[in-house]
Amino acid sequence: MKYVLPTRYTVFLVTLLILSPSAERSRGADDQYKPGDFPGPTESLYFYNETVMQLALGKEVNLNGRILRMRYSTVAPGGVIGQHSHSDRPIVEYILQGTATETKKSGDGKVVVKSVGKDEAELSTVEITHWWKNESKEMVKIMAVDIGKGDVSSICRPPGSPRTEPLQPPVNADNIKIEYMGSHDLAVQFPGIPEAKDYVMRCRRLTILPKQKTKLGNGTDNPSVTYIIKGDVWENRSDEASSIRRTGEYSVATNGISYYWENPTIEPVILFVVDIVRKDRQ
């Protein structure tokens, strides 16, 4: 399962937005706000956002009325992501390019300013209200995964070729590098949903060295989305024919799907994985 994030198309749209005289400023957006100001700007400026994947969690882990959603965003130099609340919507944000400055207010009222750079992840809980600004001269690109309200599954990707032979697990899985980059206890995030008490939303970065293979994974009771940050990687999965996934593509594992990754190249592969996992299986 794959989808290529629209990097070139996005940059083209944002460039048009910046250059267009009629779009010098989004209505209500104020580029005079400085990091640390709170309340901040209520509308976004020089900002593009697109949902590229959403998965109904009621069918995966009995979180009815909730979706696992991935979005891709760009913020041009001087751009702003307007102030918004994450009430009832925990999120993981991973910076793919550039550096953005976040102004964040937590449930205790404390305001924190933080610069988040390339290859760093920032997690926000349901208590958080925040806004972002790109003070640099470089485009900022962000991949974000959150759990929001909804019950419709709509994975924006073309289907792969069906597998014609059973998937064979790797004979010798390798001990690959795994970096844990944060997690949300869903019992804390969704106290009103009884099923949430058993689960954690976590994010990890995997580095697969040349010729390495991961162990066999299973999407049953452990839905996940994997984004290829760097490199070309071979995806072997039970529902589709094995194929190469490239930088900027993603894959989704759901109930009934087993899979493993293999690096056939001479360069390291880096994957970013966000999943919902039972606490007793972390």
Residues 179-204: what's their mean pLDDT? 96
Residues 245-254: what's their mean pLDDT? 95
pLDDT at 212 over 90: yes
What number of residues does the chain have? 282
Nearest to 221, CA basis, from 60, 68, 69, 64: 60
Contact predicate 223/263, CB 8 Å = no
Which residues, 6+ apart, have CB-to-CB distance to 175 below 8 Å? Answer: none
Give dist(CA 22, CA 150) in Å, integer: 35
pLDDT at 13 over 50: no
**C-alpha dihedral sign at 34, 38, 39, 43:** positive
CA-atom Rg of the chain in angstroms = 19
pLDDT at 272 over 90: yes
Which residues, 6+ apart, have CB-to-CB distance to 129 below 8 Å? Answer: 83, 84, 85, 86, 87, 104, 105
Q: pLDDT value at position 131? A: 97
Q: pLDDT value at position 150? A: 85
CB count within 10 Å of CB 154 equals: 12
Nearest to 246, CA basis, from 224, 228, 265: 228
Which contacts of 13-16 are long-range, i.e. CB under 8 A and separated by 24 or more positions? 13/48, 14/46, 14/48, 14/74, 14/76, 14/139, 15/76
Q: Residue 17 has which token pair?
A: 């937005």
Residues 192-212: what's their mean pLDDT? 97
Contact predicate 133/140, CB 8 Å = no
Complete domains list, the chain, with CATH? 7-149 (2.60.120.10), 156-281 (2.60.120.10)
pLDDT at 28 over 80: no
Give dist(CA 53, CA 70) in Å, integer: 5
Q: Residue 93 has which token pair?
A: 């944000």
Between 7-16, 208-217, 263-272, the lowest mean confidence (pLDDT) is in 7-16
Q: pLDDT value at position 173? A: 93
Residues 89-130 have pLDDT tens digits of: 999 999 999 999 999 999 899 999 999 999 999 999 999 999
As a whole-number percent, the residues of the chain with pLDDT over 90 amount to 82
